[in-house]
Chains A and B, each alone.
Chain A
Amino acid sequence: MEALRHTINAFATPTTIYLSSVALFAIAMWKMEIVVKPLVMIPVVIVTVLGTIFALTDDHFFKLVTLPDNIPITIMLATVGYFTWYALKKGVENDKRLSENRPLIEQEQDRRVMTWPNLVYIEFICLIAITVFLIFWSIGFQAPLEEPANPTVTPNPAKAPWYFLGLQEMLVYFDPWLAGVVFPGLIVVGLMALPYIDPNPKGNGYYSFKDRRLVIGYYLFGFLIQWVLLIVLGTFMRGPGWSFFGPFQEWDPHKVEALTNINLSELLWVKLLNIGLPKNILLREGVGIVVVLGYLVALPPLLAKTIFKKLYQELSFIRFQIMCFLFLAMLSLPIKMILRWTINLKYIVAIPEFFFNI
């Protein structure tokens, strides 16, 4: 048992967890028809449940998970997990029906029925059920209250509410103006823009997967990996000093991590060229600026010519530009994470003089 815990602790680093989650996600996207089969999912559920039970035997993990403010995360994980599977299973089912030219599930249910009592009654039952759920939750767990607010003593770790922990985790990799302002803004804008940049007329009003693989993958990557996974990392594995801890590792406020990050300009001018940083800011950060501009401006046409050729034809120029910008912005997080883990990169463009760091 102890050995297993140690192995898991050793395995659990942001790099491994993130990358393996991405890999699992890619596999699921690729072979969704198989993944959603009960034959696959039942063992997964069993393993998850057993794993959770095993994990709960650990004192530290148990305390962490049963912390009243962390209960919603557990509920969120369970519901999001279940509903993702449920929606995809229905989608796959509908895909199958389409390919066999059978009517969709939803098409079989196109009878018009009276709202009273059918809808009203189930709604009523649902609402009572959710009230019951809430009442028992309230009886079981007391709302947390810590010591009186003290502006001079910062608790360690100081965490945002759980639903914003994804953003806080992003702050490890990006400056606040990006992680705290621009990215949340882009998430909102991107979500609102979704109906306008998704040209696919299929899959409107019924569950589907195959016809919308790209956009579903895009959405699920953002939701599950970039949001939910980062919340889990931020809540359960970020301890004092925002240091990373394995699930069964005691949170030690004196943990020391090797953290020496380097800017792209330092990497280039000092490490590679060995001539020291130039005085001129533009010259100093030139490469970084070029890289960023290249990523955001030059890459879209390139993509339009190559892998997104079909998409480019479906969308108009502006829509494609917007789509590409949002897509690249989302991808920038994993890219930056990987750069951090591989070459300890801090900033691609570092102009602290104007609070402009990327």
Chain B
Amino acid sequence: MNSKLKQIQKQIVESQIWKSIFRHGMPDDTRTRAMVVLSNVFLHLHPVKSREAGIRVGYTWCMGGITFFLFLVEAVTGILLMFYYRPTAEYAYSDIIALREHVPLGIMRELHRWGAHAMVIAVWLHMFRVFMTGSYKPPREFNWGIGVVLLVLTLLLSFTGYLLPWDQLAIWAIAVGSNMARATPFLGHEGPGASLLKIGDMNLVHAGDDARFGLLAGRMISEATLLRFYVLHCIFIPFVASILMAIHFWRVRKDGGISGPM
């Protein structure tokens, strides 16, 4: 009986289909373990071997990994939410109510929202750890810079998502936030220097073409803003962030892996 099972198992493992998918056996010796890491698209972010200090949670706090994982969680829950959310003034709010009241697994919204907050915290802590271990120092200066941009993108992701429920909390948080854009020096119509920018009688910067207008797609928050933030939140920023993340991870490897004492 047992031998029969083994026979079947052997047949499966040695079939062409199995072999085409799994390029190695069970990872129970050093060689296959290396193979696993090398041949798996996700795992190959890691080197085959790392310095002991660099993999200890006590050193890294795992915060970078957690941030990346939370990004994936946000992506998955976000995609699912898109099945039930329409970014229009008419439906946005009632779709959120629907998520709360009767959409199956509407709790996805909670996962998404709290995941976003957790991601912000995780990014801060990751940066804090990198700073405290001096890991921004040569040769990792550039990657630190990328990291700073990723931090900003994380905050922007959260900020753009804040508008989507289209409730009072949302639009006034965005109103407070976006009103600052009108005070941008030279680019906002109430910013210092904006009134100096004119050609003849034509004002170059006014409420109809300043930085805030670009952000809100109008002089005030409207349905167009909702759509704009939706696109920023769902496509534009995640797209940019993904590219930068690829660079970030790649540079971690190229700059010598996780930092450690020279």
Question: In their complex, do chains A and B touch, with some C-beta pair under 8 Å?
Answer: yes
Residues of A within 8 A of B (CB): 69, 71-72, 75-76, 79-80, 83-84, 87-88, 90-91, 104-107, 109-120, 122-123, 126-127, 130-131, 133-135, 137-139, 141-151, 153-155, 158-164, 167-168, 171, 175-177, 179-182, 188, 191-192, 194-196, 198, 201-208, 212, 216, 219, 223, 351, 354-356
Binds A, one of B13-21, B51-59, B227-235, B242-250: B51-59
* Among candidates B118, B169, B175, residue contacting A144 with C-beta atoms closer than 8 Å: B169
Chain A min CB distance to B124 (Å)? 7
What are the residues of chain B within 8 A of A161 when measuring CB–CB? 158-159, 162, 173, 177
Contacts of A149 in B (CB 8 A): 89, 93, 166-168, 170-171, 221
A111 near B52 with CB under 8 A, answer yes
A207-B62 contact, Cβ under 8 Å, with A116-B33, A131-B73, A146-B169: no
Judge whether B52 and A113 touch: CB under 8 Å: yes
Q: What is the CA–CA distance of A219 and B128 in the complex, to the nearest angstrom? A: 9
Do A114 and B134 contact each other (CB < 8 Å), given the known contacts A104-B261, A195-B141? Answer: no
Q: Are A146 and B167 in touch, CB under 8 angstroms?
A: yes
B117 nearest CB neighbor, chain A only: A72
A123→B110 contact, CB < 8 A: no
Docked Cα-Cα span, A179 to B177, in Å, equals: 11
Task: Provide the bound-state CA to CA distance between A168 and B159, in Å.
Answer: 14
Q: Is the CB of A106 within 8 A of B261?
A: yes
Closest to A356 in B: B192
User: Is the CB–CB distance between B176 and A76 below 8 Å?
Assistant: no
Query: Can you add 15 more A-B contacts, CB < 8 Å, to A115-B48, A145-B169, A177-B183?
Result: A111-B51, A115-B46, A117-B33, A118-B50, A137-B114, A143-B109, A145-B96, A149-B167, A150-B168, A158-B175, A163-B155, A192-B144, A216-B131, A351-B192, A355-B194
Looking at A147, A167, A206, the one whose CB has the most chain B CB atoms below 10 A away is: A206
Q: Are A117 and B27 within 8 A (Cβ)?
A: yes
Residue of A nearest to B70 (CB): A130
Does A143 contact B137, Cβ atoms closer than 8 Å?
no
B236 contacts the other chain (CB 8 A): no
**C-alpha spacing A107/B193, complex, angstroms:** 54
Assess the B158–A194 pair: CB atoms within 8 A.
no
Query: Are A195 and B185 interface neighbours, CB within 8 A?
Result: no
25 A–B contact pairs at CB < 8 A?
A72-B121, A76-B124, A83-B61, A106-B53, A106-B59, A109-B51, A115-B46, A115-B49, A120-B37, A122-B57, A123-B62, A126-B66, A127-B65, A137-B114, A138-B110, A158-B173, A161-B158, A171-B180, A181-B188, A188-B148, A198-B137, A204-B259, A205-B261, A205-B262, A355-B190
Count CB-based A-B contacts (< 8 Å): 287
B129 and A151 contacting across the interface, CB-CB below 8 Å: no
Interface residues of B (CB under 8 A from A): 27, 30, 33-34, 36-37, 43, 46-53, 55-59, 61-62, 65-66, 69-70, 73, 89, 93, 96-97, 100, 107, 109-111, 113-115, 117-118, 120-121, 124-125, 127-129, 131-138, 140-141, 144-145, 148-149, 151-152, 155, 158-159, 162, 165-173, 175-177, 179-185, 188, 190-196, 220-221, 259-262
Chain B interface helix/strand/loop/mixed: helix
Nearest-neighbor residue (CB-CB) of B28 within chain A: A117
Pair B43/A134 contact, Cβ less than 8 Å: no
Q: How far is the CA of A212 from the CA of B131 in the complex (A)?
A: 11
